[in-house]
């Protein structure tokens, strides 16, 4: 692989990270409904993202991981085991806002499915959360959903160019994320 496609792919992969894509899909619709809740949720997601990034950095610094991307099988499993209770806690804390609690619970379910499927594939969380965000944003505003759909395609392509996942992994991720999004749309549009 030449370095020329790797740099744009790396940039897309970073910008399409689940810690950026999920908050975007939650906060944009929320901002039109409840500004105060949006501020609290933005603060909560920023703290959560900082905790995940700090933990990932600590794993690399301690020699347990090669890269903060958690590309190894055991690295990814450890990351998912860390993320699952964090997202579940977020869903519990968001219970006063059922719309948000449901979406965070479904995000936790995406991670749980990734753990359950780990024996057969390394489900791409980038693809899963990009697809999830696409459906959530589409339910809110078709234009935002269409823009996210294009970006999701670029995210999936970036994961393949960077050889972080196989086609099976990104297809599985996209399917799981789309299903979670459809469930959110069906239960609480």
SS3 for 69?
coil
189 burial (CB, 10 Å; 0-12 / 13-18 / 19+) is: exposed
pLDDT of residue 3: 58
Number of independent structural domains in the chain: 1
How many residues in the chain?
189
pLDDT for position 156: 98
pLDDT of residue 59: 87
Comparing C-alpha atoms, which of 43, 117, 50 is closest to residue 80? 117
Query: Is 133:146 a contact under the CB 8 Å cutoff?
Result: no
Say what the pLDDT of residue 34 is: 86
Model's pTM, two decimal places?
0.91
Residue 1: what pLDDT? 46
Cα gap 71→121, rounded to integer Å: 13
151 vs 63, residue with greater confidence: 151
pLDDT at residue 175 is higher than 70: yes
110 sits in which H/E element: helix 98-116
Domain that holds residue 162: 3-187
CA–centroid distance for 129 within its chain = 4
For the chain, give the percent of residues with pLDDT over 90.
68
d(CA 3, CA 78): 29
- Residues 68, 49: contact at Cβ < 8 Å? no
56 is written with which tokens?
A: 């990932």
Token look-up 């670029």 returns: 154
Mean pLDDT of 65-79: 78
Is residue 68 within 8 A of residue 79, CB to CB? The reply is no
Q: Which residues of 80-99 are buried (b: 16+ CB within 10 A; e: fewer)?
A: bebbbebbbebbeebeebeb
Distance CA 13, CA 24 (A): 15
What contacts 26, CB < 8 A, 6 or more positions away?
A: 41, 45, 100, 103, 104, 136
- pLDDT tens digits for 95-109? 999 999 999 999 999
């Amino acid at each position: 692989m030449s370095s020329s496609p790797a740099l744009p792919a790396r940039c897309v992969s970073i910008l399409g990270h689940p810690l950026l894509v999920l908050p975007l899909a939650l906060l944009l619709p929320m901002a039109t409904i409840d500004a105060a809740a949006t501020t609290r949720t933005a603060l909560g997601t920023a703290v959560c993202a900082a905790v995940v990034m700090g933990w990932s950095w600590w794993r690399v610094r301690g020699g347990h991981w090669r890269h903060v991307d958690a590309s190894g099988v055991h690295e990814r499993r450890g990351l998912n085991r860390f993320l699952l209770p964090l997202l579940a806690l977020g869903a519990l804390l968001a219970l006063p806002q059922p719309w948000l609690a449901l979406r965070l619970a479904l995000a936790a379910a995406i991670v749980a499915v990734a753990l359950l499927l780990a024996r057969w594939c390394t489900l791409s969380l980038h693809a899963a959360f990009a697809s999830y965000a696409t459906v959530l944003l589409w339910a809110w505003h078709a234009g935002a959903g269409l823009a996210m759909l294009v970006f999701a395609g670029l995210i999936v392509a970036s994961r393949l160019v960077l050889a972080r996942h196989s086609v099976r992994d990104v297809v599985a991720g996209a399917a799981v994320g789309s299903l979670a999004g459809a469930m959110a749309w069906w239960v609480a549009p």
